[in-house]
Amino acid sequence: MKLLLLSISLLLAPLHDFHSSITQIDYHQESKSLQVTIRLFSDDLSAALVKVGAPEMELGTASEPPEANEYIESYLQERLELTVNGKQVSFIYLGKEAQLDATWCYVEVEKVGNVRKLEITNTLLLDDFDDQTNLVNLNIKGQKKSGISRNGASKLKFEF
């Protein structure tokens, strides 16, 4: 009986009770590009998109609207800023994959040359959840570094 009650309570619990994202930035020497992977909880991303004017959507399902990628790209462009060696750079949105409760977004910064300094302003979901934390992991020329972006401290600076 206890096992049944525990199982029911776990099923009725929210999918997650914390709000976080993970951004992985890798420098690829051959293409001289930064390849960026961003993992967000799908329901959090959907809620944030609705707040900026997107229709309600379930990412990764048959009911996902065809313009979902446009909404996601616009959201990322507004909330993720990269500066390489003191110069703000633009990224190209490559697409996304939705898997279970997570959506993986892929972007790339082309032709960055030798990365000596990297600044990241990551405000993803910070306007939406007071407890949001955004972990940023870097792998630049074999050097691995990390930082955490949160409300009041969304800009991260790294030197290589």
Which pLDDT tens digits describe the chain residue by residue (160 residues)?
443 333 333 343 445 578 999 999 999 999 999 999 999 999 999 999 999 999 999 998 888 999 999 999 999 999 999 999 999 999 999 999 998 799 999 999 999 999 999 999 999 999 999 999 999 999 999 999 999 999 999 999 999 9
Across 75-130, the runs of DSSP E, i.e. the strands, are: 80-84, 87-89, 92-99, 102-109, 117-122
Q: In 10 A of CB 150, how many CB atoms?
A: 16
Domain spans of the chain, in order of start: 17-159
Q: Are 37 and 105 in contact (CB under 8 A)?
A: yes
The letter for the amino acid at 28 is H
**Can you give the pTM of this predicted structure?**
0.87
